């Protein structure tokens, strides 16, 4: 292949498949002026989130707009978070190429074109957190699932991306009050936070991850219905977090999403870590408190 032809091929990646909308938010204005809350409702399926939204089961999250149907960046927690922490959040469900996705964060060093996309925050370093730290943010991680449990070597990887990371057994998946315990912890932490320093918080809400049967009265095993019940529980606790954050810290920009879905017998499939449409389809929204 001639050298000129080699140069032409990558350009097609950056041609929108249809008329591209403008950015929904200008992250260049957000960064530096707002705290940023990155909330992952770990394992939440899009269909469950959409159904609970429609029936009014998640009144807190419903205040902030509808869920967008998106493609997950990975099929389980570990690959998905590596992608998201590098700026590759879930993208539009109908996206056909990289130009169709809205990038809130742009990893400027890896060569996805020479210009930071309109509305995106171009960051240096290997993660969003490194870039924000350079711009004066304090970065916090409050973990949930085992990939944030520093008692194992693999559980040290993600917490090591933050200036401050927190996990204890009361935040873990088998604990029915895990989200309440995380929110209680955070509300105490922000009491002592420097009011003059912006915070980037990552919160891994693991209530929806298995086991979740105990959120549905009388259930003896996990199911789609207990999955939705866990979401309703998490929604209540997020209401406490949002109210407390507004009272103590003021406004914030919130990114709320799932890293992947999970199966409960669809096509004979169970759980996640597999490329099934239920696993690969997630809810996403961002908004201001």
15 inside domain: no
* Residue 246 counted as domain residue: yes
Would you tell me how many other CB atoms lie within 10 Å of the CB of residue 253? 21
The pLDDT of residue 21 is 67
- When mean pLDDT is compared across 15-24, 108-117, 234-243, the lowest value belongs to 15-24
Work out the average pLDDT over 129-151. 95
Percent share of the chain, pLDDT over 90: 74
Within a domain: 11: no
Name the nearest CA neighbour of 261 among 84, 70, 115: 70
Does residue 268 surpass a pLDDT of 50? yes
Inside any domain, residue 19: no
**What CATH number does residue 221 fall under?**
3.40.720.10
The pLDDT value given to residue 2:
41
Give the pairing type, strands 68-71 and 91-92.
antiparallel
* Residues with Cβ within 8 Å of residue 69, at least 6 apart in sequence: 46, 50, 93, 281, 283
Structure letter (DSSP) for residue 49: H
Are 250 and 32 contacting, i.e. CB atoms less than 8 angstroms apart? no
Residue 5 placed within a domain: no
Number of domains in the chain: 1
- pLDDT, tens only, 236-259: 999 999 999 999 999 999 999 999
6 occurs within a structural domain: no
Which residues make Cβ contacts (< 8 Å) with residue 232, sequence separation at least 6?
A: 52, 57, 58, 215
Higher pLDDT, 89 or 195: 89
State yes or no: pLDDT of 20 exceeds 60.
no
Q: Which pair of tokens denotes residue 96?
A: 């056909």
Q: Please state the pTM of the whole predicted model.
A: 0.90
More reliable by pLDDT, 67 or 22: 67
- Residue in the structure block whose two tokens are 């009491």: 191
Strand partners of residue 92? 70
pLDDT above 70: residue 5: no
Of all residues in the chain, the percent with pLDDT exceeding 70 is: 91
The answer to whether 35 and 253 have CB atoms below 8 angstroms apart is: yes
Asked if the structure places residue 14 within a domain, the reply is no
pLDDT above 90 for 109: no
pLDDT band at 108 (very low <50, low <70, confident <90, very high): confident
CB 257 within 8 A of CB 43: no
Instruction: For residue 221, name the pLDDT band (cuts at 50, 70, 90).
Output: very high
Identify which of 40-54, 110-124, 183-197 has the greatest average pLDDT: 40-54
Q: Please enumerate in sequence order all residues whose Cβ is within 8 A of that of 56, keeping only pairs 6 or more positions apart, or say none.
A: 62
- Cβ-contact 201, 289 below 8 angstroms: no
Domain with 169 in it: 24-288
Average pLDDT over residues 57-81: 96
Phi-psi domain of 115 (left: phi exceeds 0; alpha: psi -120 through 50; beta: other): beta
Map residue 201 onto helix, strand or coil: strand
pLDDT in tens, 166-201: 999 999 999 999 999 999 999 999 998 988 899 999
Residue 3 lies in a domain: no
Q: What are the Cα distances from residue 49, in Å, to 184, 230, 240, 267, 275?
A: 24, 11, 19, 21, 20
- In 3D, which of 67, 69, 113 has the Cα closest to residue 256? 67
State phi, psi for 75 to the nearest 5 degrees: -100, 5
Residue 113: what pLDDT?
A: 57
5 by DSSP, 3-state: which?
helix
Query: Which helix (H) or strand (E) element contains residue 79?
Result: helix 77-85
């Amino acid at each position: 292949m001639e050298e000129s032809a080699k140069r032409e091929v990558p350009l097609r990646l950056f041609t929108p498949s249809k008329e591209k909308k403008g950015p929904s938010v200008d992250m260049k204005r957000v960064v530096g002026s707002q705290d940023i809350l990155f909330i992952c409702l770990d394992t939440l399926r899009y269909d469950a989130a959409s159904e609970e939204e429609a029936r009014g089961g998640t009144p807190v999250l419903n205040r902030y707009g509808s869920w967008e149907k998106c493609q997950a960046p990975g099929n389980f927690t570990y690959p998905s978070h590596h992608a998201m922490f590098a700026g590759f959040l879930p993208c539009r469900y109908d996206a056909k190429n990289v130009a169709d996705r809205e990038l809130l964060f742009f990893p400027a060093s890896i060569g996805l074109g020479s210009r930071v996309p309109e509305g995106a925050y171009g960051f240096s370093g290997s993660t969003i957190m490194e870039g924000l730290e350079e711009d004066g943010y304090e970065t916090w991680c409050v973990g949930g699932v085992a990939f944030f449990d520093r008692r194992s070597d693999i559980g040290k990887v993600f917490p090591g991306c933050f200036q401050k990371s927190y996990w204890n057994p009361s935040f873990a998946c088998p604990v029915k009050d895990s989200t309440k315990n995380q929110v209680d912890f955070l509300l105490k932490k922000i009491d002592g936070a420097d009011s003059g320093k912006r915070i980037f918080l990552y919160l891994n809400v693991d209530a929806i991850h298995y086991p979740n049967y105990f959120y549905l009265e009388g259930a003896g095993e996990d199911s789609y219905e207990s999955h939705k019940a866990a979401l309703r529980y998490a929604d209540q606790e997020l209401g406490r977090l949002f109210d407390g954050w507004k009272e103590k810290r003021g406004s914030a920009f919130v990114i709320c999403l799932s890293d992947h879905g999970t199966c409960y017998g669809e096509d004979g499939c169970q759980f996640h870590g597999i490329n099934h449409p239920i696993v690969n389809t997630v809810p996403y929204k961002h908004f201001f408190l």
